[in-house]
């Protein structure tokens, strides 16, 4: 099977790449709008880009009607956001927040999550998340055209909050965090089945 992504429609192209790039970490992104309403939504086109400076990035597509999602609109306004790690206990809340709600809806309330004031950014953190990364916007890269416009948001991590039970011997322990990942279709995965390999010394 050979597939040319350029000839696929938006839905088929999305299905192709979420099935090919996996498992994907989930950026549970919290923001605040100019009206003061909190927003939170999951994005699985998410990656670390640099550690010094600390830079992360995640991709945001348009709504089905081609308009910008609230997350992007809010980040353009405040120039900041928070990435919250999703563990097994947050799976249902994260999925609930994934709906395309109207802009006046506070997804924290919809998902039953607790907003916490951040240290250095306007956007709130998720109290229930074991790791929160406060980020300041660096740049927004755009690909494609409306209604297929995709934005890649690049931000500098200015503070990382880690719950005490997840911080062991100076590192964030994956076995303690119990993060989940995104697969294709409606599938997710747990990080319980872990194996270790030491890098070769050359």
Tens-digit pLDDT profile for residues 3-56: 999 999 988 998 999 899 889 999 999 999 999 999 999 999 999 999 999 999
Task: Specify if 161 maps to a domain.
Answer: yes
Whether the Cβ atoms of residue 79 and residue 137 lie closer than 8 Å to each other: yes
65 inside domain: yes
Q: Collapsing DSSP states into helix, strand and coil, what is residue 64?
A: coil
Please, is 106 exposed, middle or buried when counting C-beta atoms within 10 Å of its C-beta (0-12, 13-18, 19+)? middle
106 belongs to a structural domain: yes
Give kind and range of the element (H or E) at residue 14: helix 10-20
* 3-state secondary structure (DSSP) of residue 157: strand
94 found inside a domain: yes
Instruction: Say which CATH number the domain at 124 has.
Output: 2.30.110.10
Residues 171, 160 contacting (CB under 8 angstroms): no
pTM: 0.94
Q: Tell me if 54 is assigned to some domain.
A: yes
CA-to-CA distance for 19 and 187, rounded, in angstroms? 10
126 pLDDT higher than 90: yes
- Omega before residue 70 within 30° of 0, cis: no
Residue 147 pLDDT grade (very low, low, confident, very high; cuts 50, 70, 90):
confident
- For 178: left if phi > 0, alpha if psi spans -120 to 50, otherwise beta; the answer is left
Give the Cβ contact number of residue 93 at 10 Å.
Answer: 22
Range of the domain at 164: 5-190
- In whole angstroms, what is the distance from residue 84 CA to residue 55 CA? 15
Question: Residue 82: pLDDT band by 50, 70, 90 thresholds?
Answer: very high
Task: With a cut of 90, say whether residue 66 has pLDDT above it.
Answer: no
Distance separating alpha carbons of residues 86 and 26, to the nearest angstrom? 7
In a domain, 113, yes or no: yes
Q: Let me know if residue 199 belongs to a domain.
A: no
Is 78 within a domain?
A: yes
Distance separating alpha carbons of residues 165 and 152, to the nearest angstrom:
32
- Can the peptide bond before residue 17 be classed as cis, meaning omega within 30 degrees of 0? no
Number of domains composing the chain: 1
């Amino acid at each position: 099977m050979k597939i040319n992504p350029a000839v696929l429609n938006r839905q088929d192209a999305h299905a192709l790449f979420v099935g090919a790039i996996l498992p994907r970490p989930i950026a549970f992104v919290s923001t605040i709008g100019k009206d003061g309403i909190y927003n939170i939504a999951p994005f699985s086109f998410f990656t670390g880009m640099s550690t010094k400076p600390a830079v992360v990035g995640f991709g945001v597509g348009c709504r089905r009607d081609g308009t910008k999602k609230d997350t992007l609109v809010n980040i353009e306004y405040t120039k900041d956001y928070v990435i919250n790690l999703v563990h097994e206990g947050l799976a249902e809340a994260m999925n609930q927040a994934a709906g395309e709600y109207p802009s006046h809806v506070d997804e924290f309330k919809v998902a039953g999550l607790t907003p916490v004031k951040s240290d250095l950014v306007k956007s709130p953190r998720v109290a229930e998340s074991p790791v929160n990364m406060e980020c300041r916007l660096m740049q927004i890269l755009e690909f494609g055209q409306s209604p297929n416009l995709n934005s890649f948001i690049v931000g500098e991590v200015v503070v990382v909050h880690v719950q005490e039970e997840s911080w062991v011997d100076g590192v964030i322990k994956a076995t303690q965090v119990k993060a989940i990942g995104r697969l294709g279709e409606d599938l997710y995965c747990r990080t319980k089945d872990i194996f270790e390999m030491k890098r070769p010394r050359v």
